Structure 1
Amino acid sequence: MNRPARLVVAALTVSTALLLTACGSGGGDDSSSDKIKGAETGGRTPSASASAPTSPSDGVKRPEITLSKEFQANFDGWTNSDPKLQAILNDGREELRSKYAAIIQANPDSDAVAFYNSGTSLTSARKWVKSFTDTDDGLIGKVTVYRPQVHINDSGSGVLFYCVDERKASTKNRKTGKVTTTPDKPESVLQYRARLDKTSQGVWKNVSLTTVAGGCG
């Protein structure tokens, strides 16, 4: 496979293999309490509206995450009336944003990535970011992150499923300026399946993450 042809964060060719091994190596729990009803079925196309990131009011000092003007991550419908579930959504959103920012900043050892990941999830997240920095690629365009589904399982862990549409995102090589676009195909829409544990400080950290290319139907 031609490495420069990989997508922004998975889907086809090299990207798919890269994400499914890097982001999917966190030892996901397949117990029934970690499954979300209806998550396997196809769904709607994300709407144009997107919820802006909001700051949690729990008093925890979280890292400030900034994306470049050339890249947008729009989160559609990331609200929940249950404060406990909203806290999981907030930290799950920032976990994904931290990895995008680390790629843009060419920093696989990002403190923000470590803040929102632990154990094997941190190892795989850094490996994934490094796959971009090794080839000197950044991100441009936009992704839409939508249809979040969240609950707390029997063991007290958070379970978060969501969809990422990468079809309007591309990679851009910092040296050559070459842009590699994401194919406009169903496989470029991925379903992320995360398990999160709450720290003593009150932060929901990713402990495992798997992805399914085309999993959002």
Structure 2
Amino acid sequence: MARRALPITAATLTATAALLLSACGGDDDKSPDDTKAADAGSSPSASASATTPPLAKRPDITIPSSFQLTFEDWTSSDPRRQAVLDDAEEEVRAGYAAIIANDPDSESVAFYDTEGVRGQTKEWIKSYTDKNLTVIGKLPSFNPRVVLAENGQGAALTYCTDESDAKTRNRKTGKVEGNPAGTNPYVVYAVSLTKNEQGVWQNSSVRSERGKCSR
């Protein structure tokens, strides 16, 4: 179920790697000074651009009730971080919607992925569709953390998912399977995003590691 299950290392992004220390599980223990430091990295121009109406018309993405993909506490009082969370959420939804629709060439996925990562997402989708699999059950995503780049055009996001109730179903046989017995259901993700000219936050890289977070 995990997307691009590659080890998360310091090479991913310095900001993302730092976030991994508290990405999933436990309380957010950032000090007031840490918060100020993160906010200080945002330029006035970045704040101004965050208030500019987006030029792009975002696609409508529909996921059937047979797969309950939820995003717990994906909210921020900072509109700049909220914009990152909103587009990152839609990218995740687009990927699973493509699996369910048996559509590896989904235009919605292409909308939310940069050209460099689009092929990797397609291969992940095809790892299901080539085997006649769809997804069912429940997949909550929680404990998101966002760090913005100083220029306001890049961001790092970490979050956790719980695959305990996420399963696959074979389209032909109807066979339902979950993760193999003994598999840790928790997966932490580290995502790099860049804002394109239309104001859309697109995934530019995704890394994941199983067993590195919990509720």
Normalised by the size of structure 1, how large is the TM-score?
A: 0.78
- Distance in 2 (CA, whole Å) between partners of 1:110 and 1:97 is 12
Within 5 Å, give how 1:196-215 maps onto structure 2: 196-215=193-212
Contact map agreement 2:146 2:157 (CA 8 A) in 1: yes
Residue 122 of structure 1: which of 113, 118, 122 is its match?
118
**Tell me, which stretches of 5 or more residues in structure 1 are unaligned?**
1-8, 11-17, 45-56
Within 5 Å, give how 1:45-194 maps onto structure 2: 58=54, 60-154=56-150, 156-183=153-180, 187-194=184-191
- Distance in 2 (CA, whole Å) between partners of 1:207 and 1:134 is 24
| AA aligned opposite 1:39 | L
For these two proteins, the number of residue pairs brought into alignment is: 189
- Distance in 2 (CA, whole Å) between partners of 1:188 and 1:203 is 31
Over 3 Å counting, the alpha-carbon distance change for 1:147 and 1:186 in structure 2 is: farther
Residue 43 of structure 1: which of 25, 33, 44 is its match?
25
| AA aligned opposite 1:212 | E
Over 3 Å counting, the alpha-carbon distance change for 1:184 and 1:76 in structure 2 is: farther
- Deviation per CA, 1:144-175, whole angstroms, max 9, x where unpaired? 00000001124541100000111101000000
CA RMSD across the alignment: 2.7
Give the percent of matched residue pairs that are identical in Structure 1 and Structure 2: 37
- Larger-gyration structure (1/2): 2
Over 3 Å counting, the alpha-carbon distance change for 1:129 and 1:38 in structure 2 is: closer
Contact map agreement 1:168 1:182 (CA 8 A) in 2: no
Higher mean Cα deviation, 165-174 or 113-122? 113-122
- Distance in 2 (CA, whole Å) between partners of 1:28 and 1:202 is 28
| Equivalent residue number for residue 13 of structure 1 | none
Normalised by the size of structure 2, how large is the TM-score?
A: 0.79
Structure 1 residue 108 displacement after superposition = 0.4
Higher mean Cα deviation, 122-131 or 27-36? 27-36
| AA aligned opposite 1:209 | V
- Distance in 2 (CA, whole Å) between partners of 1:120 and 1:188 is 28
| AA aligned opposite 2:114 | S
| AA aligned opposite 1:67 | I
| AA aligned opposite 2:62 | T
| AA aligned opposite 2:124 | W
- Deviation per CA, 1:172-193, whole angstroms, max 9, x where unpaired? 0000000002357562210110
Structure 1 residue 118 displacement after superposition = 1.2
